[in-house]
Amino acid sequence: MTCKKTAKQHEAIALLKSPATHILLYGGSRSGKTLILLYAMVVRAMKVKSRHLILRQRFAHVKRSVWHDTLKEVLDLTRVKAEANHSDHFLTFPNGSEIWIGGLDDKERTEKVLGTEYSTILFNECSQIAYDSIQMALPRLAENSGLVNRAYYDCNPPARKHWIYKLFIEKVDPETGGPVKDPLEYKSLLMNPIDNKENLPADYIEKILSKLAKRKRDRFLLGLWGEDAEGALWKSGWILRAIVPDYLERIVVAVDPAMTHTKRSDETGIVVAGKAGNRLYVLDDLSGKFSPLGWGRTAVLAYRKWNADRIVGEVNNGGDLVESNVRQVDSNVSYKEVHASRGKAIRAEPIAALYEEGRGLHCGEFPELEEQMCGWIPPEPGKRAEYSPDRMDALVWAATELIIASTVPKEYTVIHDAYEEISKY
């Protein structure tokens, strides 16, 4: 293992020794944030018999990135032996200490891991975790092990409207809007890839991060908190938070497919949304880079999980690809193809207007989706956009199917031909 602590990680270790209960490490991609927090967790576990928990929004993500990767790396670095339970996903150390992993998207597992008390809880990629979920988990930070109980957080910085920025940077209570009771309890440190350059591939910063679109470069290279882009169709203040309603009239899973599957491919946008009255509720953002069968499986699993009424797929570039991939997984899925007869901006404008009216609500934290909504700028005529907003596209298709299509008079048989008339309804 050829990894050594950097000067910035030593700075993080000093911060972790401070009296603060809540400590956030934030910044760009591969800056060593999670590794140093896991290192601290392992050191704490070896001091005294105790329990520790790593939480992320999705169990599949914490299993892949932490359980199978970074946690193993930390154990190699520390030369600590631990027995892995691959069924319940926890490590047992020679002194009896345990480190568990959990995902907040799995209700049964969440209830299991939050049924006990811990000395440390790490909220991994906390920009994806709703503040309500943080509040639900924090009471379990109550083990009487002899250690000072700590809550760790790590993330690539989202928008300034996010609860993380309010709590750790502005020292404002995200629920009340007033100042936090004890600001010294909340400490943070910026860590960027340049600080970890000696542990990264030689060309990672110059050839990968430096060539990202500006907003992604600001976030994943420079560790900057997001701002609304001038000229974007959405403003972050328009995005309201809500819990999932007890009853939704309709639920759809919208897919905006990537046409290739390489490292340079676009993401496949997969967004789950529902309708109650004249309001849109975004339930999940499952977008990412997948193989064609991978995104088909992800869409079908979301369809089943949310008991959705339909999967909606854009077919302009993919032809029958979306339906074919979906039906390979489940031939009985209700599916509808949609065609983009207008440009992205024209399709998105009535959906942005819906948010401006306070009718677009997000049931959770979806930082990547919201970054595209508030950061994508429609290109000037004859010019190409800086990047393809695949998550935003999927949201637009879902909202169009749920809200816009239901307001269009029957004589408009192709819903996208009615966009210029939508403002009348």
Mean pLDDT of the chain: 90
378 or 284, which is more confident: 284
pLDDT digits (tens, 9 = 90+) for 257-269: 987 666 666 789 9
- Would you say 262 and 251 are in contact if contact means Cβ atoms under 8 Å apart? no
The hierarchical CATH code for the domain 7-217 is: 3.40.50.300
The hierarchical CATH code for the domain 236-424 is: 3.30.420.280
Query: What's the pLDDT at 382?
Result: 65
> Same CATH fold, 236-424 and 7-217?
no
**Statement: residue 84 has pLDDT above 90:** yes
Query: What's the pLDDT at 381?
Result: 73
**Statement: residue 124 has pLDDT above 70:** yes
Average confidence (pLDDT) over 279-302 = 94
Average confidence (pLDDT) over 342-369 = 93
Structural domain boundaries in the chain: 7-217, 236-424
Phi-psi region of 171 (alpha: psi -120 to 50; beta: other; left: phi over 0): left
Give the distance between the most distant pair of CA atoms in the chain: 72
**Statement: residue 365 has pLDDT above 50:** yes
- Would you say 363 and 412 are in contact if contact means Cβ atoms under 8 Å apart? no
Query: What's the pLDDT at 410?
Result: 42
Residues 6 or more apart from 383 whose CB is under 8 A from it?
Answer: none
**Statement: residue 2 has pLDDT above 70:** no
